[in-house]
Amino acid sequence: MTPNFRIAMVGAGAIGCYYGAKLAYYGRDVQFLMRGDLADVRRFGIRIRGKGENLRVAKVNYHGSTEEIGPCDLVLVALKATSNGDLLKLIPPLLHEKTMLLTLQNGFGNEEFLAQQFGANRVLGGLCFVCLNRVSRGVIESYGQGRLAIGEYTDGPQPRTHDLVWEFKRCGIVCTVVENLTLERWRKLVWNIPFNGLSITGGEIDTAAILADENLRALTLALMEEVIAAANKCGFPLPAETILEEMKRTESLGAYKPSTLIDYQAGRPLELEAIWGEPLRRAVRAGVAMPHLEKLHAELKALDLAQRDEITAATVNS
């Protein structure tokens, strides 16, 4: 990477601020798309704190539009999948002939969307195996450094894949190249599907409360087993030991609130299709029965719809 390698961070939530701040802290040219109240960021910058993490970027290059940013060499997409429609206007001003698009979003369908709209040759996927909460506009709480895995959408690793991973490593980020991006997406869903979902349907509770409840713990294991069975049937082998690894990791987090629970409590739409709907459809097409996931998806959909209706009614009546 050359010293003038420009990076645009589209999405300034916990994930976007965390990785963008780390890159900026180590001197990379990061331009943040930030809309809304920026008082804290203007005054204090971005701070990352938590287990083994304590850094602050005092001067943040933030912009209200991608037109202000202009063409970049790498675009990091950290918006929620529910906002993918916004990318149709946000991405074009950031592109030049060789711009790479690296999505850090959850679930299935995001690489496909970017490839369809902007060309498959540009697209890479990043899987963030990290637990973060944004406690204020400019403060990110880390529950463990975690790791980032990067892979190509259309093929196996290329020289640019290794270059990107090396650049992240140089900025203090544990990062690896993955041979098969879809396999790694299934692996992450082993955690995301049960814990993000049950944190809401279980009564808006954290991961420690899920593990402490005998019925919810059993349901977590059943959902994990279904995801692994679906991945294997779809041709992406995951060992059963993945369940034990994810349970041990979750126990070490303590009372962690998954990002989907935070979205729900803030009244934001849930990433229903990316995290639960599309994996369910792929499993059904492969001939795998997923009764627990089917029920969880239906429950989340009903809760999300009810919340949308409440918000609409409150807006009309205000």
- The residues that are catalytic are 188
Which helix (H) or strand (E) segment holds residue 161: the answer is helix 159-170
Residue 68 CA to residue 282 CA, distance in Å, equals 40
Instruction: Compute CA distances 248 → 36, 242, 245, 255, whole Å.
Output: 38, 10, 5, 14
Angle at which helices 278-285 and 214-233 cross, to 10°? 50
Residue 105 burial (CB count, 10 A)? 27
Residue 47 CA to residue 17 CA, distance in Å, equals 9
C-alpha torsion angle, residues 300, 315, 106, 144 (rounded to 10): -100
Sign of the dihedral defined by the CA atoms of residues 245, 277, 125, 130, in that order: negative
Q: Which of 258, 230, 227 is nearest to 242 (CA)?
A: 227
Across-strand partners of 48? 55, 140
* Buried-exposed string 77-104: b where 16+ CB fall within 10 A, e elsewhere: bbbbbbbbeebeebbeebbeeebbbbbb
